[in-house]
Amino acid sequence: WSFYVNEAEKFDKALVESWKADMEGIVIFAGLFSASVTAFIIEGYKTLSPDPSKMTITLLAQISSQLAAISNGTNPNLLSPSFAPASFHPAASSIAVNTLWFFSLAFGLVCALGANMVQQWARNYLQLIERRPAPGKRARIRSFLYEGIETFRMKAVVEAIPALLHVSLFLFLIGLVIFLFPISLPIATTMLAILVLVVAMYMVVTILPIYYRHCPYRTPLSSPCWRIFR
């Protein structure tokens, strides 16, 4: 049992350390990314409601016309309500941008939460094994717990977290391109070209390991794609 315990301990520590290192990076990136998305949302969600400055201008124009009517001896109540504010309907692009950005923010926060939980699960996994000093008991407990990792596909969960973070990033970039089109067509076109290039490169890096197993480049979607197309 001692040999099995020693080898299993090396394997478990390497596995847990790799998970913890990946999750630490995801927590940091997700935090910074969510803060950036929030800054854009603060500006973007304003387009979903009427602009207060335009309403102020409308009211000032109406007051000015009433004052002019009074100075001319005209009854201001007889003026037609030409400055009555029209009903507001946000543009379809504004709805699309805010939808993408809010989804991006939500996915980013979910990734941060998931990464934090994986760190706790990994730490708990090692602690439960190391509680038993006897090699025989430790070996049986380790085998039982590792079987749970395989049964409940914890490795797939760990791989899904960075994949979800990548989805969050692409949603933000798509929303950014849509947001820029009404502002500046050249900048929006440039960003669209960059986005298409990045997506194409991401797809290539995802697919390469399917045909070249020794390829060092891969994404979190490479393993699921390999299982689907193998």
pLDDT in tens, 197-224: 999 999 999 999 888 888 888 898 888 8
Quick one: 125 and 14 in the same domain? yes
What pLDDT, on a 0 to 100 scale, did the predictor assign at position 58?
A: 62
What pLDDT, on a 0 to 100 scale, did the predictor assign at position 85?
A: 54
**Domain tally, the chain:** 2
Question: Is 80 a member of any domain?
Answer: no
pLDDT at 83 over 60: no
Give residue 181's region: left, alpha or beta (phi > 0; psi -120 to 50): alpha
Name the most confidently modeled range: 10-14, 128-132, 192-196.
192-196
Give residue 153's region: left, alpha or beta (phi > 0; psi -120 to 50): left
Contact 61, 83 (CB under 8 A): yes
Question: Is 76 a member of any domain?
Answer: no
How far, CA to CA in Å, does 67 sit from each of 27, 55, 58, 59?
A: 60, 18, 14, 12
**Residue 5 pLDDT grade (very low, low, confident, very high; cuts 50, 70, 90):** confident
pLDDT at 54 over 70: no
Quick one: 164 and 200 in the same domain? no
Contact 85, 57 (CB under 8 A): no
Quick one: 153 and 223 in the same domain? no
Quick one: 159 and 63 in the same domain? yes
Mean per-residue pLDDT for 55-84? 60
The three-state secondary structure class of 213 is coil
As a whole number of Å, the end-to-end CA separation of the chain is: 38
Question: Is 85 a member of any domain?
Answer: no
Question: Is 208 a member of any domain?
Answer: yes
Quick one: 56 and 15 in the same domain? yes
Token pair belonging to 26: 């995801």
pLDDT at 63 over 70: no
Question: Is 157 a member of any domain?
Answer: yes
Question: Is 77 a member of any domain?
Answer: no
Quick one: 96 and 201 in the same domain? no
Q: What are phi and psi of 87, to 5 degrees?
A: -65, 140
Question: Is 79 a member of any domain?
Answer: no
Quick one: 197 and 222 in the same domain? yes
Quick one: 95 and 164 in the same domain? yes
Q: What is the pTM of this model?
A: 0.81
Quick one: 222 and 133 in the same domain? no
What range defines the domain where residue 31 resides? Answer: 1-71+90-172
pLDDT at 76 over 70: no
**Residue 176 pLDDT grade (very low, low, confident, very high; cuts 50, 70, 90):** very high
Quick one: 121 and 143 in the same domain? yes
Handedness of CA 116, 119, 125, 129 (dihedral sign): negative
**CA-CA distance, 165 to 105, in Å (whole number)?**
10
**CA-CA distance, 228 to 111, in Å (whole number)?**
24
What pLDDT, on a 0 to 100 scale, did the predictor assign at position 47?
A: 81
